[in-house]
């Protein structure tokens, strides 16, 4: 009997020790969660500080943190994770099934930021891939789409996003961007109506003030059609005018940025104003309209890439993320999709050298005059 009592005593002591350890561990988990909540509360408090406010919506505070796979991200509006590496889904020559599979591969490999647009004709494939994924939920993926130029008249803005949501199969969008700052005549909501041009292949602009379109977009936030709104292809003067007139500030400016087109002044301006830059064509848009930036073959670029054990393409993407903005490379090739999410922090001296080399081959690969005609010279480069 004494032996049994001794064994029971040891057993109960071990159980008490086990539960004390588990309680300590549980408390530490609770404390870590509490600290995380306190951090997010601080972010929200800072974001809503009167010193940052104008009208009733504030400049979005840019806070760069790290998410899964060590991918930095910003907190838009103080609460929405915006990963700094995303998948671009400009359709190009790709079919719907390729875009669908590419989106699934991206989700499998840790992408949580997908960029699409109504004019890309990829919204249906992107939405289906997200809805069909067995483990990644809709709430985990930050999805961006865009308002096309033919929908700038205020009465067409709500129907346009309704069509986008219908294509995606979503109740709400994460971020809706004004695709370009110029407006075109409305011809209809079908794809063939969106790029009707004259005999020379040009599209004329119509007079719809940006602020009129923007105010219609602000209503989309108010009615829950999208959480956030932003712009694309906006210059500093365009942003200054919009910021002076709007109620809800743009959280993102999606622009062309890569080593041969670093847009340093515009990137720094956006960062000063709390507007996150998202870089389309971060690799120089290879394969589109014959584009190929020669800087990628520069011996020094190859040398720097080897220093970080990266390919030149991976170096360019890490270069962008290291400069503090998001990159959205487009690919439907599984191996490239996997390679593109590999991020390494690039040293400041290497960023400077890459930029200097790139500027010797300066090129804008998405020129609105070449794409849409002389009436669309919004950058004043022609």
Active site residues: 120
What is the DSSP code (8-state) at residue 21? H
Name residue 54's beta-bridge partners.
57
Closest CA to 287 of 313, 317, 306: 313
Q: What CA–CA distance (Å, rounded) separates 175 from 73?
A: 15
Question: Checking DSSP bridges between strand 226-232 and strand 252-256, what pairing results, if any?
Answer: parallel
Judge contact between 175 and 113, C-beta under 8 A: no
Neighbours of 110 (CB within 10 A): 16
Question: Of 270, 281, 264, which Cα lies nearest the Cα of 355?
Answer: 264
Place of tokens 């809503």: 48
Closest CA to 114 of 149, 95, 138, 132: 138
Distance CA 256, CA 266 (A): 11
126 with 143: CB under 8 angstroms?
A: yes
The structure tokens listed for 73 are 């991200």
Task: Tell me which DSSP letter residue 147 carries.
Answer: E
Return the bridge partners of 163, or none.
none
Q: What is the spatial distance between Cα 207 and Cα 181, in angstroms, rounded to a whole number?
A: 11
């Amino acid at each position: 009997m004494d032996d049994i009592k001794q064994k029971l005593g040891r057993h109960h002591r071990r159980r008490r020790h086990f539960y004390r350890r588990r309680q300590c561990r549980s408390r530490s988990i609770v404390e870590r969660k509490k600290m995380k909540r306190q951090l997010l509360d601080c972010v929200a408090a800072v974001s809503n500080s009167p010193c940052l406010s104008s009208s009733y919506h504030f400049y979005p505070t840019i806070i760069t943190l790290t998410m899964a796979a060590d991918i930095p991200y910003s907190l838009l509006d103080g609460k929405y994770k915006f990963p700094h590496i995303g998948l671009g889904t400009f359709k190009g020559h790709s079919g719907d099934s390729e875009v669908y599979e590419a989106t699934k591969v991206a989700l499998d490999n840790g992408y949580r930021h997908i960029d699409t647009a109504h004019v890309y004709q990829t919204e249906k494939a992107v939405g289906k891939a997200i809805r069909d994924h067995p483990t990644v939920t809709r709430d985990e993926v930050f999805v961006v789409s865009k308002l096309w130029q033919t929908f700038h008249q205020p009465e067409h803005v709500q129907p346009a996003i309704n069509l986008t949501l219908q294509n995606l199969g979503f109740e709400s969008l994460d971020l809706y961007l004004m695709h370009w700052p110029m407006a075109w005549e409305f011809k209809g909501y079908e794809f063939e109506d969106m790029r009707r041009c004259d005999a020379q292949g040009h599209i004329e602009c119509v007079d719809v003030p940006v602020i009129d379109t923007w105010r219609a977009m602000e209503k989309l936030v108010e009615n829950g059609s999208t959480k956030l709104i932003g712009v694309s292809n906006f210059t500093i003067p365009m942003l200054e005018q919009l910021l002076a007139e709007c109620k809800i500030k743009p959280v993102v400016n999606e622009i062309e940025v890569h080593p041969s087109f670093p847009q340093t002044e515009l990137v720094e301006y956006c960062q000063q104003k709390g507007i996150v830059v998202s870089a389309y064509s971060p690799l120089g848009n290879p394969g589109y309209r014959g584009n190929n930036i020669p800087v990628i073959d520069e011996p020094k670029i190859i040398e720097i890439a080897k220093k970080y054990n990266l390919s030149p393409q991976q170096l360019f993407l890490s270069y962008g993320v290291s400069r503090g903005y998001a990159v959205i490379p487009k690919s439907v090739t599984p191996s490239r999709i996997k390679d593109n999410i590999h991020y390494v922090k690039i040293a400041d001296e290497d960023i400077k050298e890459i930029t200097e080399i790139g500027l010797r081959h300066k090129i804008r690969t998405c020129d609105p005059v070449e794409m849409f005609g002389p009436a669309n010279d919004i950058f004043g480069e022609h």
